[in-house]
Structure 1
């Protein structure tokens, strides 16, 4: 396995342990220890994955992630020493793809990085394939663009991939496990309810009220589907 990973944590000993496990698996790793250095390193190295601690000097992880999303679509795994769900959801709300709560196994982190990098960086559709339309929503998989009422909707890579999978099988209810397999890969380990968090962000960006959904519908006991009300 190869790929560039940026590890950002002010606990230098932990950062070095994580880096050693990643390097052992063939990744190119750079460690930095504060928020401003993380942004500089991300611009210089264009990493495939950023492992980002929530509590950092200079700029915290949430602000680093928010700024990172203005120039990079790399995968972001947020690390937090706090156990409150709000911390995890805050990180995901600014564009993180996954999270781990400290203490964690370095092997689990390596497994999640590997699963992310097995995901295709670009889901290619046939050049002649038309955009998928759901009323005012247009999903152009070939161009990786989404428009709502003609206006572009900025999505993270994970959000777009979820929408692409759902829109490809309109009116078919997909379970969380099926969505995890399609988007995160079969090797992913973690809480399947991570899907719910990303679906929530998608709905907000698409102005899709879950109580009266236009696009993404919850199928109780199963998961989610796209399409009109049955």
Structure 2
């Protein structure tokens, strides 16, 4: 399955050059020359792209503002591709959320190398389960592209459930499996953490999409 790349470049000749080159390396490229259209598309598909290649000299919006908006809605790896190559531009780019910076002119092969390097690192530490993307090394979880601010205990419970989708875990098993969960009543402690976790993933406790209650036993992950 080819990885999807979002390309935002208003120079149509450059856009075609980069797009064709990435296609030759089996990447699926969606290109825009207008940043507002690209942002609308990304907002509707926040977890669709692992990499965004972004020019800075754009119509409608300043490229740094575009970068900031992309970072607010997506965990994608942002590579700035720009003729603006002053150190101040690079510092500002990283400051608004860019992960890498390529100063034009450059060989398209260099862009491919940077993308492949990121994807190789990402594959080693990240895994996707349903709508969730998990980086165990960093103890981070994203849901449909949005980063979740979880405590260590919440992360451990979510990882336990996600790694065993459909399996029912009793409150006692969850309590004993999670280090540092506390010493109060098992049922009350586990229920409290599940409640907090549901709130953070937007799960309606009366009709949950992800974490289902199994009456009299405990919980299971279904989404």
TM range (shorter): 0.5 to 0.7
1:88-128 deviation line (CA, Å, top 9, x unaligned): 1111111100001111111111111111111125737xxxx
Once residues 106 and 9 of structure 1 are traced to their aligned partners in structure 2, the CA distance between those partners, rounded to angstroms, is 14
1:173-220 deviation line (CA, Å, top 9, x unaligned): xxxxxxxxxxxxxxxxxxxxxxxxxxxxxxxxxxxxxxxxxxxxxxxx
Compared with structure 1, are the counterparts of its residues 39 and 32 closer, same or farther at alpha carbon in structure 2 (3 Å cutoff)? same
Note the residue ranges of structure 2 that are not aligned, 5 or more in a row.
127-135, 142-148, 151-223
- Compute the displacement of 1:141 (Å): 4.4
Structure 1 counterpart of 2:13: 13
The root-mean-square deviation of aligned C-alpha atoms, in Å, is: 2.4
Once residues 93 and 101 of structure 2 are traced to their aligned partners in structure 1, the CA distance between those partners, rounded to angstroms, is 8
TM alignment of 1:122-137, pairs within 5 A? 123=125
- Structure with the higher fraction of residues in helix conformation: 2
Compared with structure 1, are the counterparts of its residues 60 and 114 closer, same or farther at alpha carbon in structure 2 (3 Å cutoff)? same
- Compute the displacement of 1:9 (Å): 0.8
Q: Is the 8 A contact 1:76 1:97 kept in 2?
A: yes
TM-score by length of 2: 0.54
Compared with structure 1, are the counterparts of its residues 90 and 120 closer, same or farther at alpha carbon in structure 2 (3 Å cutoff)? same
Q: Is the 8 A contact 1:80 1:87 kept in 2?
A: no
Q: Secondary structure at the residue paired with 1:7?
A: strand
Once residues 138 and 113 of structure 2 are traced to their aligned partners in structure 1, the CA distance between those partners, rounded to angstroms, is 29
1:126-146 deviation line (CA, Å, top 9, x unaligned): xxxxxxxxxxxxxx846328x
Q: Which of these two proteins has the greater Rg computed from alpha carbons?
A: 2
Structure 2 counterpart of 1:75: 77
- Compute the displacement of 1:63 (Å): 0.6
Q: Secondary structure at the residue paired with 1:89?
A: helix
Once residues 9 and 66 of structure 1 are traced to their aligned partners in structure 2, the CA distance between those partners, rounded to angstroms, is 16
Q: Secondary structure at the residue paired with 2:54?
A: strand
- Compute the displacement of 1:60 (Å): 1.8
Q: Secondary structure at the residue paired with 2:122?
A: coil
Count of matched residue positions in the alignment of Structure 1 and Structure 2: 133
Runs of 4 or more consecutive aligned structure 1 residues displaced over 6 Å after TM superposition: none
Structure 1 counterpart of 2:3: 3
Is 1:102 paired with 2:104? yes
- Compute the displacement of 1:43 (Å): 2.6
TM-score by length of 1: 0.53
Compared with structure 1, are the counterparts of its residues 86 and 36 closer, same or farther at alpha carbon in structure 2 (3 Å cutoff)? same
